[in-house]
Structures are given as structure tokens and as C-alpha cells.
Amino acid sequence: EAGVAQSPRYKIIEKRQSVAFWCNPISGHATLYWYQQILGQGPKLLIQFQNNGVVDDSQLPKDRFSAERLKGVDSTLKIQPAKLEDSAVYLCASSSLAGSGNTIYFGEGSWLTVV
């Protein structure tokens, strides 16, 4: 079974530029998550999708971050314009059912450095 795929793995951009990350979850997984992990900290949820609908985006900085999952499969996370504090690993994860009680499978992450 293929895991959660993410790209690009690494990205360096200047502040105020834009960047987009792509995620392909495990086949058949209805729930998709984007987490932000700053170095030395635990992952923080940015947004949770159930199929193509948003379940929770309360911690997504909507003035600069956007995410979509148009067909309920792949997802894209965009940052525009980027700030220095956005330097982090962006982890995509998926599960067969929403949240609690279900194992969440993580991708390898997309490492963003904003200079």
C-alpha cells in the first residue's frame, strides 16, 4: 500500500514570495490533514478535510494560507505571501475515518525555509 505522498520535499523562498505544497493521501482515505511543525515543537493542525469539505480550519492563518481538496483526493496548501515565521515542516496526513480512534498516516513532510 502506497503511503502519503508529498511534494516538494524541500523549498527555499524569500519572504513575501508564494509557495504551494501538494499531497496525495493513501487511496480511499476520506480524511486529510495538514499540520505545521516548527523545529523543536510538535505538529499543529492547520486544516482538516473530510472528503472535499473542511471540518476544521480554525488554526489556519487565512490571511496568507489557503488549502483545497477539490475532488476529495489530492490537496494543495498554499502560502502567499510567506513570512520568516512560516519556516517549518508541513506534514500531510490521512486516515480512513475522521479523527479519534483511527490511525493517522503521515507523509514525509515538505520542508520550507523562508529567508
Site for other proteins in 38-57 (CB under 8 A): 40-45, 48, 55-56
Q: Considering the rule CB under 8 A, would residue 104 count as an interface residue with other proteins?
A: yes
- Minimum gap (Å) between residue 14 Cβ and other proteins: 23
As given in the structure block, the three cell numbers for residue 41 are 515543537
Grid look-up 527555499 returns 12
State yes or no: residue 8 binds other proteins (CB under 8 A): no
22 binds other proteins (CB under 8 A): no
Rounded CA-CA distance 17/12 in Å is 10
98 binds other proteins (CB under 8 A): yes
Question: Min. distance of Cβ 68 from other proteins in angstroms?
Answer: 18
Contacts of 114 by beta carbon, 8 Å cutoff, 6+ apart: 12, 13, 14, 15, 82, 83, 84, 85, 86, 87
CA distance 82 to 91: 17
Given 4, 19, 67, 77, the residue binding other proteins (CB under 8 A): 4
Shortest distance (Å) from residue 35 CB to other proteins: 8
Q: Are 30 and 82 in contact (CB under 8 A)?
A: no
Interface positions with other proteins (CB under 8 A): 4, 33, 35, 40-45, 48, 55-56, 91, 93, 98-101, 103-109
